[in-house]
Structure 1
Amino acid sequence: MTQFEQISQHIWIMHAEHETDRPLLAAIVGERRTLLMDAGASPSHAAQLREELMNRSLRLPDIMMLTHWHWDHSFGLSAWNVPSIGVRETAERLRLLKGLDWSDKTLNDLVRQQIINDSSAGHIRLEYGADRNIEIREPDILFEKKLELDLGGVSCEIHHVGGDHAGDSCYLFVQEDKTLFLGDALGPSVYGGPRKYTSGEFLRLTNEAFHFDAHIYVESHSAPVGKAEFRQDIDRYVELARLVEACGKNQTNIEEGMKKFLQVQELPQEFVHALEWFLTD
């Protein structure tokens, strides 16, 4: 069941749905404009958000931005007849997907070419069913490093931050609401080969995240959290990344250092997996 809620004065979100890997979508409503964060995984996903906004008599989106090009964030773009914002790599990546028939053969070819992975192919099949008439659109407005928007009493900053998950990843900061949308930027790479983290990139991205005066942190496949909870959770992975930086490929030393930091006898599975990703070449 779709969950829709207001998380701050100007921000309404539709929560992520994990069955088909639908990400969280957000509407930032100002006095003059509404900004939509991410297009959704499909026109159906987009229609759900539109219905939720209309049911609450909220202003529909006048403009939208993409946190990155991945299908679950961008394939709903055709359902929104408004200008869209992204970085050049977002446009380039989506341009490569235009004109495909999205048959099972095409999905298998994309997996073999490592453009997407098996998990995404399966989720696309579930999201669209057998008749996959997918219209790919590129963002209309391209920026390089930073773009600022005035929605009327609400100021938004879009920052191109890149990272392992996707080179076009962006943060969105809503100043008046002290809310930072991180997209999937803090996740490992998921396309182009096995999942992996680069310790230096992870540390850079987390450092950038904490430069914002944010009280609410929102990742695209999780529920929003406050600053203290986000910091408590992310600091454990920051420590892991620092140990990787200090110890290189010495897995034993990293594991011992992490167990000491967590004050545990056995390393929890989530850190076992994360360490594998950090040590993947």
Structure 2
Amino acid sequence: MEHKFQELSRHILIMHAEHDTDRPILAAVTGSRRTLLMDAGNSPAHAELFRQELARRGWRQPDLLVLTHWHWDHSFGMTAWNVPVIAHEETAQALNRLGGLSGSDEELEHLVREGAISEGSAEHIRLEYGSPRVITVSTPDIIFNGSITVDLGGVTCELSHVGGDHSADSCVLHVIEDKVLFLGDALGPSVYGGPRRYSSTGFLKLLERIYGYKAALLVESHGVPMTEQEFRADLVPWERLARIVDVFGDNRERVLLELKAYLQLEELPPGLLRSVEYFLEGAR
């Protein structure tokens, strides 16, 4: 598999997401004094690939690490970095609860049953770690509430808690001088502990907050970087869907009718149709 890297600016290098084992984007943000790493990777192997690329390019290795949220694919690579970890208090609480995890099949099945992870996540963990597997979950060092700002030397990073359906602890990372906003998975639906769902009102509030940053580049952890114009255009159907559900609730026929009329489509594409079900679930 070819691992793809991209310099978003002279301060930011990312490793692109890989979907086979649910590896999210990793980002290094470097200033004149220190380098900040966004998200740890889903395993030490994932983390090591990024470390090697930083070394190959002559970039300073991370001095500290921030987590966008607690989910395994963003946090299980923490032990590979051995640097101070900054996380929201809810992220720390969730990782503390996973403290004794070793990664056995029995443990994974138990976590699925109690809604802590999904069956899909368990399968991705098995693929990423192989068998026999050893997983070590570590906990953050610096805990914040609200937002925290880090000066890297001429580059300022602000990590802010935004919440959302995907995970209550979701945070976004704003690299202020570069006008780049890392969204983590904040705009995703809920994935654990029941059917996937979106709250239409919550989604719209979150979108408004994201647009308020006026970022030049927006990066979702399992997507590709987009300009603000591209991002807004990409989100048009979902934003309209959320507004329709806000008015008509879980009236499926009316929601489909209104959305098809707005988009001038006879049939909705599969991805959008799935999202209709998530929003309807959220309205119930």
| TM beyond 0.5 | yes
Q: Which residue of 1 aligns with 2:270?
A: 269
The alpha-carbon deviation at position 131 of structure 1 amounts to 2.1
Work out the CA distance in 1 between the residues paired with 2:251 and 2:18.
38
Q: Which residue of 1 aligns with 2:174?
A: 173
Q: Which residue of 2 aligns with 1:11?
A: 12
Aligned AA (1:141): I
The alpha-carbon deviation at position 269 of structure 1 amounts to 1.6
1:1-281 equivalences in 2 (<5 Å) = 1-280=2-281, 281=284
Work out the CA distance in 2 between the residues paired with 1:51 and 1:101.
26
The alpha-carbon deviation at position 256 of structure 1 amounts to 1.3
Work out the CA distance in 2 between the residues paired with 1:232 and 1:62.
36
State the 4+ residue runs in structure 1 displaced beyond 6 angstroms.
none
User: SS in structure 2 opposite 1:7?
Assistant: strand
The alpha-carbon deviation at position 238 of structure 1 amounts to 0.8
Work out the CA distance in 1 between the residues paired with 2:188 and 2:81.
27
CA contact (8 A) 2:99 2:139 kept: no
Aligned AA (1:233): D
The alpha-carbon deviation at position 224 of structure 1 amounts to 0.5
Work out the CA distance in 1 between the residues paired with 2:141 and 2:102.
23
CA contact (8 A) 2:245 2:255 kept: yes
Work out the CA distance in 2 between the residues paired with 1:227 and 1:156.
19
Q: Deviations over 1:242-279 (max 9, x none)?
A: 00001112111111111122111112222211010011
Work out the CA distance in 2 between the residues paired with 1:119 and 1:27.
28
Work out the CA distance in 2 between the residues paired with 1:247 and 1:63.
46
Q: Deviations over 1:134-170 (max 9, x none)?
A: 1111111111111111111111111100010000000
Aligned AA (2:221): S
Aligned AA (2:245): V
Percent pairwise identity: 54
Aligned AA (1:93): A
Aligned-pair Cα RMSD in Å: 0.9
Work out the CA distance in 2 between the residues paired with 1:224 and 1:100.
33
Aligned AA (2:58): S
The alpha-carbon deviation at position 94 of structure 1 amounts to 0.8
Instruction: Count matched residues.
Output: 281
Aligned AA (2:128): E
Q: Deviations over 1:155-210 (max 9, x none)?
A: 11111000100000000011111100000000000001111111111111111100
Q: Deviations over 1:98-120 (max 9, x none)?
A: 11231111111111111101100
| Structure 1 residues without counterparts, runs of 5 or longer | none
Work out the CA distance in 1 between the residues paired with 2:111 and 2:167.
17
The alpha-carbon deviation at position 81 of structure 1 amounts to 1.2
TM-score with structure 2 setting the length: 0.97
User: SS in structure 2 opposite 1:231?
Assistant: helix
CA contact (8 A) 2:173 2:183 kept: yes
Aligned AA (1:199): S
The alpha-carbon deviation at position 212 of structure 1 amounts to 0.4
